Structure 1
Amino acid sequence: MSPAPPEPRTFESLVAEAEAAPTEGWDFSWFEGRATEQRPSWGYQRLMGERMAGARAALDIQTGGGEVLAGVPGRPPLCVATEAWPPNVAKATALLHPLGTVVVADPEEPPLPFADGAFDLVVSRHPVKAYFTEIARVLAPGGTYFAQHVGPASCFELVEYFLGRQPDDVRGARHPDLERAEAEAAGLEIVDLRLERLRMDFYDIGAVVHFLRKVIWMVPGFTVDAYRPQLRALHDRIEHDGHFRAHSTRFLIEARKRK
């Protein structure tokens, strides 16, 4: 006799599991089998590793838990990472120090705690904001900024489910054309700029809760108690449709400081 199929998970059990899950770092393995996100075609970590291999001094801004930087094959003789959130600082330190990378606890706002022209390579994956004037200041002449940024209206199907339709200026923020203009005004020359819209699927309400607890700027101040009716309705929708679909936007930017 075949075993009985497992009982479906309840709303309360899925939410309780997601609320108990740790949120530090940028390890998204918790979502395996529960949510998927299409990856950009360019392969940021691989390309970053290629640039790291040719650098003498590199800075990774807003490194999170250090997972992306730790995943490249090698780092230059001088490699530094910054991070603002204390749990991530601790996680990045434990991960990156054995690899010869110094982790500096630093607010996300300027100034960066480094001298002018200290690095020939600055990288960042999904910075909250790129302060191009500071990036240009710490880059040596001819140095490169190489990053993957979150683009406009990313995952806004989910954001607007909870917060309602957002103003056009909010939806248009983070557009690559705006960041191109900021970079060029800071004295950087754009070498490459590519934007892609990517599919995201959430397969249970626990994945939604964990995502909003982890990526805290999506729905500021999110708690389960504050949004319980909306979460329960979304749970029912996912149970009926099999998933909740949203779309992320990402853009690759490579810029060079003029000599």
Structure 2
Amino acid sequence: MINDKSFIHYLKEAEQDFSGWDFSYVTDTGRMAASLLSWSYGSMAKKLITEATSLLDMGTGGGELLAKLQPFPHSVFATEGYKPNFPISKKRLHPLGVTVVEVDEDNLLPFTNGQFDLIINKHEAYSAQEVRRVISENGIFLTQQVGGADCAEINEALGIPLNQEYLHWQLDFAKKELEDNGFRVVFAKEETPVQRFYDVGALVYYLKAIPWQIPDFEMGDYMEQLYGIHRKIESKGYFDVTQERFIIKAEPI
């Protein structure tokens, strides 16, 4: 039984509702922060949207980011495959003229051939073949992705191996896959920024929101490991993990 009052307080306080794709509960208070990338997905997407006539946002989450990228072209669609997020994104985006579509399979998008001249995708799985099918011949595909070994230090600290299924998901693999499916990559870059947690409650909140990092995460299963992280933060001031991020801008050929 762990009787550390501050540790118990952080764990109880982490029992907050999470909706959409909004980490502001821990980021706005500075409890979790990440070092900067040398590119801005939002800035790149914003510029491309001003030049587009038809737009698809893949994996819109709760629609938080897309809603901030207005004004939109005449035709705008968004997809979301995580069921809790679908009604949230629909409520947020429908009044803005965005048609939100629930999808179950990356390779079965409910759109016609060449329907979009701009497809944007932030941290969402995709089928390169299906993206090629629904993008116009003069279109642009912009995606920022999370590498397969993202935040590996969390898994190490909790004693859970990384999912081997996704370790291949790195920039070189994604570039080749797009090129093999009829794209020319015109910009690509990868970096490993640091993500910093300043208290164990922020880490727990984060893990509850991203179930793929530690599948079926339950605090009670990892009390000793979490307490070890808490003690390290109490001593050092923070717990650092390494993110993996890469961005690709590609055009059909």
TM-score category by the smaller chain?
over 0.9
User: How far did residue 9 of structure 1 move?
Assistant: 6.3
Which letter maps to 1:188? F
Residue 140, structure 1, aligned to residue 136, structure 2: yes
Q: Distance in 1 between matches of 2:70 and 2:215?
A: 36
Which letter maps to 1:24? S
Residue 255, structure 1, aligned to residue 250, structure 2: yes
Percent identical pairs in the alignment equals 34
Q: 2:96 — aligned with what? A: 99
Q: 1:72 — aligned with what? A: 69
Q: 2:179 — aligned with what? A: 184
Q: 2:232 — aligned with what? A: 237
Judge conservation of contact 1:151–1:251 (CA < 8 Å) in 2. yes
CA RMSD of aligned residues (A): 1.7
User: How far did residue 109 of structure 1 move?
Assistant: 3.0
Q: Distance in 2 between matches of 1:111 and 1:196?
A: 31
The more displaced of 60-69 and 99-108 is 99-108
Q: 1:16 — aligned with what? A: 12
Q: Distance in 2 between matches of 1:103 and 1:33?
A: 32
Q: 1:160 — aligned with what? A: 156
Q: 1:119 — aligned with what? A: 116
Residue 37, structure 1, aligned to residue 25, structure 2: no
Task: Return closer, same or farther for 1:51/1:154 CA change in 2, 3 Å cut-off.
Answer: same
Task: Return closer, same or farther for 1:108/1:198 CA change in 2, 3 Å cut-off.
Answer: farther
Q: Which 4+ runs in 1 deviate beyond 2 A?
A: 163-167, 169-173
Aligned residues: 248
Q: Distance in 1 between matches of 2:168 and 2:102?
A: 27
User: How far did residue 86 of structure 1 move?
Assistant: 2.3
Judge conservation of contact 1:26–1:67 (CA < 8 Å) in 2. yes
Deviations 1:112-152 (A, max 9, x none): 1111111111111011x221011001011121110111124
Q: Distance in 2 between matches of 1:230 and 1:97?
A: 43
Task: Return closer, same or farther for 1:163/1:142 CA change in 2, 3 Å cut-off.
Answer: farther
Task: Return closer, same or farther for 1:87/1:172 CA change in 2, 3 Å cut-off.
Answer: closer
Give the SS at the match of 2:149: coil
Q: Distance in 1 between matches of 2:165 and 2:35?
A: 24
User: How far did residue 239 of structure 1 move?
Assistant: 1.0
Give the SS at the match of 2:114: coil
Give the SS at the match of 1:225: helix
Gaps of 5+ in 1: 1-7
Q: Distance in 2 between matches of 1:76 and 1:171?
A: 35
Q: Distance in 2 between matches of 1:64 and 1:41?
A: 24
Q: 2:209 — aligned with what? A: 214
TM-score (norm: length of structure 2)? 0.93
